[in-house]
Amino acid sequence: MDEAEKLVKLIEQQYQTRPIKLHLVASGWKKVYRLEHAASPAWIVRAYPPPGDEGPPVNVEALAAVLLFLEEQAYPAERVVRAANQASVIQDDGWQVLITTFIGQALTAWQPADQSDATEHIVHQDHLDEDPQILFGLGAALGRLHTLPPPSTLPQAGMLPSRELAWAATNLVEIAAEVPDHLQPQYQHLRTMTQDADRYEDLPFVLIHNDCNPSNAVMTPTGEITLIDWESAGRGPALIDVGILLSNCFSKRSMRIDQAAIVAIVDGYCQYRQLTTTELARLPDAIRFFRLVLLAGYFPELINQTVQPTDLLYGATYAQWQAQYEASDEIAALAREAFSRYR
């Protein structure tokens, strides 16, 4: 019996629903399926491997708690489908399975995806990062999220600067003796930035998505833009989410900043929340944060040539990520102008 067949049997037993059919939509360190059955609309099944297997550790119970909180707050998001015994998460042989409602069509192909079925339900693949309507919707979804009062029982977000930058800085220290002369300026810049970049630990914590990119959004049947994939969500500084989303306003395809995209995000966000003066002053590091972690994290692999300059890292080359990183200050300046219209 293969993995999918075992999963079908487990779901039929634990959720008391049959017959069911699974369609693989993302295949990587976790498996994501669209589940079709006669009793109700489609579900999304996420199967997480046992601890120690390939992929980052995920607290699936904490993920379920975030989704249940969003449901309590009537925030538009995936809803947890409980098993027959009312469990939010089921476990079998070390695997953890979380099932949620299917709420809309993907804006981009789910990543990583290596099955043809993964591209059947894509609304908007081309020029997504420059679509003002999509980015306005994402900004509004984010602003609304940041107004929710998260209980202290919710976990901290999974990818906050203090931890991620410490990891990147450690990687850089370990290769200090291996960096060739022509890469020393770039290396020294990355070391300085990973040590000195803002951690935002003094800012108020709200519930953040922590990976607010167009690739983690869907369009509902009513045309609403909604966030999905909440694995890294938790309590954290709102500015982290805003910075991640604004970084998408630099197109790695055209290698330029799209000012209209910045305005669209800010207009959407300000329907629910505005950045404080303190947040606006500290915006540049928030925009460059994840790009800095990516550049520092892969720099050792450039040195030892396990990553080539033409290789794609999450859909772009190292040079393209570098260009997006270098645009952070200008993006922040344009965003401040856009936010100033609401003050």
pLDDT at residue 115, rounded to an integer: 41
User: What would the mean pLDDT of 280-305 be, rounded to a whole number?
Assistant: 96
Q: Is the dihedral of CA 299, 328, 313, 57 positive or negative?
A: positive
> What digits encode the pLDDT tens for the residues 37-77?
877 789 999 999 887 656 667 889 999 999 999 999 999 99
Report field, pTM of the whole predicted structure over 0.85: yes
pLDDT tier at 4 (50, 70, 90 boundaries)?
confident
Same fold, 3-103 and 128-340: no
- What does the alpha-carbon distance between residue 285 and residue 230 come to, in Å, rounded to a whole number? 23
Share of the chain above pLDDT 90, in %: 73
> What digits encode the pLDDT tens for the residues 134-155?
899 999 999 999 999 999 999 9
Query: What is the average pLDDT score of the chain?
Result: 90
pLDDT at residue 119, rounded to an integer: 41
pLDDT at residue 110, rounded to an integer: 53
Residue 127 confidence (pLDDT) above 60: no
> What digits encode the pLDDT tens for the residues 208-227?
999 999 989 999 989 899 99
Q: Are 146 and 208 in contact (CB under 8 A)?
A: yes
pLDDT at residue 165, rounded to an integer: 96
pLDDT tier at 120 (50, 70, 90 boundaries)?
very low
Residue 114 confidence (pLDDT) above 60: no
pLDDT tier at 108 (50, 70, 90 boundaries)?
confident
300 phi, psi to nearest 5 deg:
-60, -35
> What digits encode the pLDDT tens for the residues 225-252?
999 999 999 999 999 999 999 999 999 8
Q: Are 48 and 58 in contact (CB under 8 A)?
A: yes
Residue 22 in tokens: 């699974």
Write the DSSP assignment of 45-88 as a string of letters. EEEEPPTTSSS----HHHHHHHHHHHHHTT-SS--BPP-TT--S
User: What would the mean pLDDT of 17-40 be, rounded to a whole number?
Assistant: 86
- Indicate the range of 20-34, 143-157, 163-177, 216-230 predicted with least confidence: 20-34
Kindly report the number of other CB atoms within 10 A of residue 218's CB atom. Answer: 22
Residue 1 confidence (pLDDT) above 80: no
Question: How is the chain split into domains, by residue range?
Answer: 3-103, 128-340
pLDDT at residue 128, rounded to an integer: 53
Q: Are 46 and 31 in contact (CB under 8 A)?
A: yes
Residue 101 in tokens: 């409602």
Burial 159-177 (b: 16+ CB within 10 A, else e): bbbeebbeebbebbeeeee
Query: Residue 3, exposed/middle/buried by CB under 10 A (0-12, 13-18, 19+)?
Result: exposed
pLDDT at residue 183, rounded to an integer: 94
128-340, what's its fold?
Answer: Aminoglycoside 3'-phosphotransferase; Chain: A, domain 2 (3.90.1200)
pLDDT tier at 132 (50, 70, 90 boundaries)?
confident
260 phi, psi to nearest 5 deg:
-65, -35
Write the DSSP assignment of 245-311 as a string of letters. HHHTTEETTTTEE-HHHHHHHHHHHTTT----HHHHHTHHHHHHHHHHHHHHHHHHHHHTTSS-TTS
pLDDT at residue 112, rounded to an integer: 45
Candidates 190, 283, 197; CA nearest to 240 is 283
226 pairs with which residues across the strands?
A: 218
- What does the alpha-carbon distance between residue 40 and residue 81 come to, in Å, rounded to a whole number? 11
Kindly report the number of other CB atoms within 10 A of residue 343's CB atom. Answer: 10
Running DSSP on this structure, what letter comes out for residue 133?
H
3-103, what's its fold?
Answer: Phosphorylase Kinase; domain 1 (3.30.200)
CA dihedral 127, 129, 250, 158 (to 10 degrees): -150
Burial 186-216 (b: 16+ CB within 10 A, else e): ebeebbebbeebbbbeebebbbbbbbbbbbb
